[in-house]
Every structure is written in structure tokens, then in C-alpha cells.
Structure 1
Amino acid sequence: MKKVRWLLMALLLTPALAQPGYDWIVVLGAAQYGGRPSPALERRLEAALHLYQRGLASRVAVAGGKAKGDRYSEGEVGCRYLRQRGLPAKALLCEGQSQNTYENLLFLKPHLSGRILLVTDAPHLPRALFLARLLGLEAEGYPVPGEYPLSYWLREALYRLWLYLGLRPFQSGFSPHGLKSLPPGVLGNPGTPAKGP
């Protein structure tokens, strides 16, 4: 069953990846812990780094706000991670206010143009693409491989059903101040590991 699922994903999404010429690679938010990416966020960031190094796009946007009580946003942690791995500051755009996938895309939308390549977990990608197209973004996707539990696939299927029924995604609010281009040094010395446990 798992091999069939991956074969279908590959058939649907590989043609998009075979063609360079994206304007943006967009990494959708996932948790961070004390300034370090969660395993899910790290997988997404590594995939985006690989795609950037292959020349699929010249800019990378990283989205995601803070959970209650967090010191760092997902976008900030993601940008720092990519800077530490050699991406130039001028190639990065960091969004740090969004609280869900819809807001990730909504808050980035005014700053994106042309073709974008969404990078997220394979179960999450169909919903992310649906939302991107709902917002009028010219989006294609890259499914990050992993061992995803059946519950994740089922939850995402229910979310998609919600959207397909014409019900709107939730939005917690918009703050334009959460978005910034990453000037050199804005997140500290890129060579210094993130602080935290």
C-alpha cells in the first residue's frame, strides 16, 4: 500500500520537479523547540536546501509563527538553519506570525511572485496546494518523504474534505510586521548554533 501511495505521488508531482525555473521555494511551517527545528521542520528545510542547490529557484521563503510561550518563531528558526548551511541572507524571506497553513500562504502571498514550489510533508501537500490555489498562487509541490502515520493521512483527508465542501480555512489574524527579508546578522551570527536544550 505504501509503495502504491508513493508511486502515485511521484507520478503526479515529478513532472513539476523536472523543470527548474521556480521563482520561490516555500517551506511551510512545522514546530521548533527552543530555537532548533523539530524533525519535521528539519526534513522540510533539508529538502528545500537540496532543491535550492539544484537551482530550482533563487529564493526561499520560510513560514511559521510562535506557539504560545515560544521564544522563537518557526520562520526565524528555519531561516537561521538555512543560513548556517550556506544560503545567502539575500535569498531568504522569513515569515514569523502565521499560525496555520492558510496563514503561512496568506501572509507570504504579497511578497511572492511567479511560480512557487511548496515544500512540506507528503500527507500535508495536497491540502497546501489546494489552499495555495485558493489564494491565487501559481503553486506546485514537493512532497518530503517520511514515515507518516495513517492518522496523519486521515486527518489531512478530513481537512481537504472540509475545504472541498466549500468551508473556509480558519484564520487567527494578520500582522504585516511578522514578515521580513533577512538582512545579514538579523538572527545573530549564522555560524553560531541556535540556543536551546
Structure 2
Amino acid sequence: MRYSGQVWGVWVLLLLALAQAQYDWIVVLGAAQYGGRPSPALERRLLTALELYRKGVAPRIAVTGGKAPGDRLSEGEVGCRYLRARGVPEEALLCEGKSQNTFENLLFLKGRVRGRLLLVTDAPHLPRALFLARLLGLKAQGHPVPGRYPLGYWAREALYRLWLYLGLKPLPRSIAFPGIPGTLARAL
């Protein structure tokens, strides 16, 4: 009788351990950084990822995002420094620092991460990020960062998703649209 109780206890512990780590990676999608400090948007994403990591949702965190013209550091580097300073070990971090948009965030991770991914980004941005992840063949689910987002952000993301749903591919960075600030490609 005592032996069966020990076996039961081992099974319970094993099931709890498996249930705890639901994902292989938490992926923080890039947002601006200023002089080596995360922008408020990036900091919210990083804090959300840190909370999920500490809860044991995944054993590793990938932080994505390249440099804007004139930047010394990439968004990925700044994000990893931020997380290391809060106790995430170096070996649990992957810092991607070349991507310039959401499509590249995911594309440049594709060969470097395996298994189930949990994408962490703003709520309006998440549906498009998940669409792009699936387009690239990544096994991803999402975790929206809570916050109050302007209606324009939701509308812009809806436009980007429509573009993708119509089967149109992300554009080269050089294509700009008259009357639309920036380029659609940079956002994709």
C-alpha cells in the first residue's frame, strides 16, 4: 500500500511539471528602445514575458527587434539586458537583433527556436503576429499585453491583417504609400 502511494506521488509531480511548462519559448516581439532603455511599449511586453517566465510557462525567452537608423543597440539587445538585470539567466535568453518588422521578427527566429511559442505583444498587434507566425509554419499562440490602446492602433492593425488575409505578402521596405505615414512594409 505504501509503495502505490509513492508511485502516485511521483506521477502527480511529473504531471504538474509537464503542465507547468506549456511552451518551449516566450517570444517578445520588438518595439522601440531609446538610448538603451526600452520604450514604454517594449517594457510592458518585457514585464509580461518576465511574469510568464517566473510562473514557469516556458523555460526560455526570445526577444526580437533590430536597430532604427542611428541606434547603437537593437531592441533585442536592450530587451535581453533588461531581462538579465531582473534575474533571467543568459542561457535562458535568445536575443535577435536584425529584424525590422513583425514578419522579420518571426522569420529570423524560425531556424533558431523549436517547439511551441507564446508570442507576447500588444493586444491589437497579436492577431496579425499570430497570422504571420502560422504563415511561416511556427507553432504559436499568443498572450496579449494588457493596456489601453488607441482606436487608431486597432484600425491600423485591422488594415494590415486585411492586407495579409487577401493573400498579399509583406512588401519590400522601400515601398511607401502616399498619404500613409511610414510604409506598410515596415509594419508588416
TM-score where L is the length of structure 1: 0.77
C-alpha separation between the residues in 2 aligned to 1:33 and 1:125?
Answer: 23
* 3-state DSSP of counterpart to 1:111: coil
Contact kept, 8 Å, 1:102 with 1:170, in 2: the verdict is: no
Contact kept, 8 Å, 1:102 with 1:171, in 2: the verdict is: no
Give the equivalent residue in structure 2 for 1:83: 84
Identical counterparts, % of pairs: 78
Give the equivalent residue in structure 2 for 1:192: none
Q: Residue type of the partner of 1:136?
A: G
Give the equivalent residue in structure 2 for 1:135: 136
Give the equivalent residue in structure 2 for 1:96: 97
Report the aligned-residue RMSD: 1.2
Contact kept, 8 Å, 1:102 with 1:169, in 2: the verdict is: yes
Query: Which portions of structure 1, spanning 4 or more consecutive aligned residues, are displaced by more than 2 angstroms?
Result: none
Relative to structure 1, is the Cα distance of residues 109 and 165 closer, same or farther in structure 2, using a 3 angstrom cutoff? same
* 3-state DSSP of counterpart to 2:148: coil
C-alpha separation between the residues in 2 aligned to 1:52 and 1:41?
Answer: 16
Give the equivalent residue in structure 2 for 1:50: 51
Contact kept, 8 Å, 2:28 with 2:121, in 1: the verdict is: yes
- Give the gaps of 5 or more residues in structure 1: 1-17, 173-197
C-alpha separation between the residues in 2 aligned to 1:143 and 1:102?
Answer: 18
Q: Which gives a bigger RCO, structure 1 or 2 (Cα 8 Å, sep 6+)?
A: 1
C-alpha separation between the residues in 1 aligned to 2:115 and 2:94?
Answer: 15
Give the equivalent residue in structure 1 for 2:63: 62
C-alpha separation between the residues in 2 aligned to 1:60 and 1:170?
Answer: 28
C-alpha separation between the residues in 1 aligned to 2:134 and 2:84?
Answer: 29
Highest Rg: 1 or 2? 2
**Count of matched residue positions in the alignment of Structure 1 and Structure 2:** 155
CA drift at 1:19: 6.6
C-alpha separation between the residues in 2 aligned to 1:32 and 1:41?
Answer: 7
* 3-state DSSP of counterpart to 1:143: strand
Pairing of 1:170-181 with structure 2 (within 5 A): 170-172=171-173
C-alpha separation between the residues in 2 aligned to 1:170 and 1:119?
Answer: 24
